[in-house]
Chains A and B, each alone.
Chain A
Amino acid sequence: MELKTAKLQPKIQAKKSRKLSLKHKRNILRWSVSYTLLTLLAVVTIMPFLWTVSTSLKGQNETIFSYPPNFIPENITFENFVTVWNTLNLPLYLWNSVVLSFWGVILPLFFCSLAAFPLARMNFKGKNVVFMTILATMMIPGEVTMIPVYLTISKLGLIGTYSGVILPGIVSAFAIFLMRQAFISIPKELDESAIIDGANAWQIWWHILLPMVKPMLATLAILKFIGAWNNFLWPLLILEDSNMYPLTVGLYELKGTFVSNTRLVAAGALIALIPILIVFIAFQSYFIKSAYSSAVKG
Chain B
Amino acid sequence: MYKARTAWLFLIPTGVLLLTFSIIPAITALGLSFTNYNVFQPIEWVGVENFSRAFSDDDFWTALWNTFYYWILVTPALIVFPVFLAILVNQQLMGIKVYRLIFYFPALVSVVVTAILWTWMFKDDGLFNAALQAIGINPIDWLTDKFTAMPSLAIVTIWQGLGYYMLFYLAGLQSVSKDLYEAAELDGAGFWAKHFYITFPSLKPIIFFVTVISTMSAFKEFTLMLTMTAGGPIGSTTTLVYMIFEKAFTDLEMGYASAVSTILFVIILILTLINKRALDTTQ
Interface residues of A (CB under 8 A from B): 12, 15, 31, 34-35, 37-38, 41-42, 45-49, 51-52, 55, 65-69, 111-112, 114-115, 117-119, 121-125, 127, 130, 133-134, 137, 139-152, 167-168, 170-171, 173, 176, 191-192, 195, 201, 205, 226, 229-230, 232-233, 237, 248-249, 251-252, 255, 262, 265-266, 269, 272-273, 276-277, 280-281, 284, 287-288, 291-292, 294-296, 298
- Please, how many angstroms separate the alpha-carbon atoms of A155 and B172 in the complex? 46
How many whole Å from A25's CB to the nearest CB in chain B?
15
Task: List A contacts of B89 (CB < 8 A).
Answer: 38
Classify the secondary structure of A's interface with B. helix
Q: Check if B125 is an interface residue, CB within 8 A of chain A.
A: yes
- Please, how many angstroms separate the alpha-carbon atoms of A134 and B172 in the complex? 27
A273 touches B20 (CB 8 A): no
A296 touches B116 (CB 8 A): no
> Would you give the 0/1 interface string for B232-260, flagging 1 where the beta carbon is closer than 8 Å to chain A?
00000000010011001100001001100
A149 touches B21 (CB 8 A): yes
Q: Check if B51 is an interface residue, CB within 8 A of chain A.
A: no
Q: Check if B137 is an interface residue, CB within 8 A of chain A.
A: no
Q: Check if B140 is an interface residue, CB within 8 A of chain A.
A: no
| Chain A CB within 10 Å, residue with most, of B101, B116, B168 | B116
Task: List A contacts of B130 (CB < 8 A).
Answer: 67-69
Q: Which of A52, A139, A295 has a CB less than 8 Å from the CB of B206?
A: A295
Count residues of chain B with CB under 8 A from any CB of chain A: 93
B133 touches A232 (CB 8 A): no
A145 touches B29 (CB 8 A): yes
Q: Which residue of A lies closest to B131 (CB)?
A: A69
Q: Which of B10, B223, B265 has a CB less than 8 Å from the CB of A205?
A: B10
Classify the secondary structure of B's interface with A. helix
Q: Which residue of A lies closest to B115 (CB)?
A: A255
- Please, how many angstroms separate the alpha-carbon atoms of A258 and B97 in the complex? 38
How many whole Å from A27's CB to the nearest CB in chain B?
11
B93 touches A139 (CB 8 A): no
Task: List A contacts of B108 (CB < 8 A).
Answer: 226, 230, 276, 280
Q: Which residue of B lies closest to A16 (CB)?
A: B186
Within 8 A of A (CB), among B102-157: 102-106, 108-113, 115-121, 123, 125-127, 130, 133-134
Q: Check if B76 is an interface residue, CB within 8 A of chain A.
A: no
Task: List A contacts of B268 (CB < 8 A).
Answer: 141
Q: Which of B91, B105, B117 has a CB less than 8 Å from the CB of A269?
A: B117
Task: List B contacts of A65 (CB < 8 A).
Answer: 123, 125-126
How many whole Å from A38's CB to the nearest CB in chain B?
5
Q: Which residue of A lies closest to B16 (CB)?
A: A171
Q: Which of A49, A288, A296 has a CB less than 8 Å from the CB of B117?
A: A49
Task: List A contacts of B283 (CB < 8 A).
Answer: none
| Chain B CB within 10 Å, residue with most, of A125, A130, A141, A276 | A141
